[in-house]
Amino acid sequence: MSRLNYTVVWLSHVLMIFSSISFNAWPSEADNEKIFSNIEYSALLETQWAYGISRKSSQKLQFIYEPEINIELPNNQKFTMIGRLRGDIEDNLEPGNPSQTELSPISRRALIGDHIDLALREFYYEAAVGDTYLTLGKQQIVWGQADGLKLLDVVNPQDFREFILDDFSRSRIPLWTVNTELSIHDTVLQLIWIPDQTYHALPESNALYAFTSPLLVPAAPSGVDLNLQPVDKPNRFFTDADYGARLTSFVGGWDLTLNYLYHYNDIPVLFRTLTSGPQPTVTITPRYERSHLLGGTFSNAFGNFVLRGEVGYSTDRYFLVPDRDDRDGVNKSDELAYVIGLDWSGIEDTFLSVQLFQSHLVDNQPELARDKVDTTLTFLARHNFLNDHLVAEVLWIQSANNGDGLVRPKISYEWQDNFKIWAGMDIFFGDQTGLFGQFSSNDRLAVGIVWGL
């Protein structure tokens, strides 16, 4: 037996023990042969090039190789491993070697020079035992169904190296998680435990998509020294873990969920202290803060229309205060947020969707950097041509408060089931103080090739 086969057998044995599922005997040679007959390998090769229109220079020239191994194990078990090798010749999105301080050591990438990184994207074991389904390991958990922006999809943090331009499935950071789903009549109860202290990967100050909006970054007074402290990051395995639960059911034609998550917000709060004296100093102390999230989703089809939505109530959210004399530079408030979406497919090969996002701050706070009620609208139009081989679409995101936004036209052609080429544009507009307008000089043209092996 080859060394690779020995490795697979050993790994399958470890997974069987680790799952705490009882077996009558150690896997036999026949079981090993069955394992080898159910190994599936696939891979994704992709290259992307993005050209900055305003800056008249390349933003990225990126190559990605993502191998995936799936192993069907005895007794309704399965093992999945997904890796990623990524290289970027330009090195503008993450110049040099990013610190990765937001990520736990077991979730960090291996950096090879300034242009290549290697990551274990997903690594999980699945087992079905009666009405219970267990997924154990590094994985993505997707809550919510909004397009373009997130409301309840906050179980996994996000990599913002390209702001929100990358696909959610790729920018979402998988976490080491115990994920259990129990079927109770017509309802599924999902329970999750996440001891992985990994949070949003935020661009560093020299990165192309570094945050500069006063909605996210406090401005230091002129003539005042800035003292940025290391992030106060949770590190206790049990005490600082995240916990969540979701009920999923189908009632009277409605797909419904009820969600709860006790978690650390993935962006640290920037607490500020001003020290007076001959040389005044502003000290910024970033710290992650706990929050309870209670919410749910709903969707139903009415002929050619689908009505869907999400709602979430979050406790203890912190928001920046523009007043430079404020004691700590932030104020706390609970937040009620929701999104309502309406999809229509009344014309053949055409899909139209509109969404309304709103966030309401519950507490009456003094002046904040953001408005008490924040509203964002989205519109998506998609049309398929040539028996679905050619797809043209445009996504428009508009902030009603700040007047800034993002327009993303894209066209893709699927030549074969495993080969696709695409081209698109990402156009930011609005004042640079806005969430989208801060990147108004980052408009780009992007093309890509995707090849599945």
CATH of the domain at 306: 2.40.160
pLDDT, one tens digit per residue, over 399-408 is 999 999 999 9
Confidence class for position 351, pLDDT limits 50, 70, 90: very high
Residue 75 structural domain: 40-344+429-452
Has residue 36 got a pLDDT over 90? no
421 occurs within a structural domain? no
424 occurs within a structural domain? no
pLDDT, one tens digit per residue, over 185-198 is 899 999 999 999 99
412 occurs within a structural domain? no
How far apart CA 436 and CA 31 sit, in angstroms, is 55
> Is residue 318 classed as helix, strand or coil in its secondary structure?
strand
**pLDDT given for residue 322 in this prediction:** 86
How far apart CA 209 and CA 440 sit, in angstroms, is 11
pTM of the model: 0.90
pLDDT, one tens digit per residue, over 241-300 is 999 999 999 999 999 999 999 999 999 999 988 887 677 888 899 999 999 999 999 999
Mean pLDDT of 383-393: 97
pLDDT, one tens digit per residue, over 395-436 is 999 999 999 999 999 999 999 999 999 999 999 999 999 999
321 occurs within a structural domain? yes
Q: DSSP characters for 61-129?
A: EEEEEEEEEEEEETTTEEEEEEEEEEEESS--SS-S----TTS-GGGPPEEETTTEEEEEEEEEEEEEE
What b-and-e string marks burial along 295-331, b requiring 16 or more CB atoms within 10 Å of the CB?
A: bbbbbeeeeeebebbbbbebeebbbbbeeeebeebbb
Mean pLDDT of 166-193: 96
Length of the chain: 453
141 occurs within a structural domain? yes
Give the HSE-up count for residue 410: Cα atoms under 13 Å, Cβ half-sphere: 21
Output DSSP code: residue 400. T
Please, are residues 148 and 139 in contact by the beta-carbon 8 Å criterion? no
**pLDDT given for residue 8 in this prediction:** 39
Output DSSP code: residue 159. B
Confidence class for position 153, pLDDT limits 50, 70, 90: very high
420 occurs within a structural domain? no
Confidence class for position 21, pLDDT limits 50, 70, 90: very low
7 occurs within a structural domain? no
395 occurs within a structural domain? no
Please, are residues 436 and 412 in contact by the beta-carbon 8 Å criterion? no
H or E segment and range at residue 348? none
Tally the domains of the chain.
Answer: 1
Place of tokens 């104020």: 331
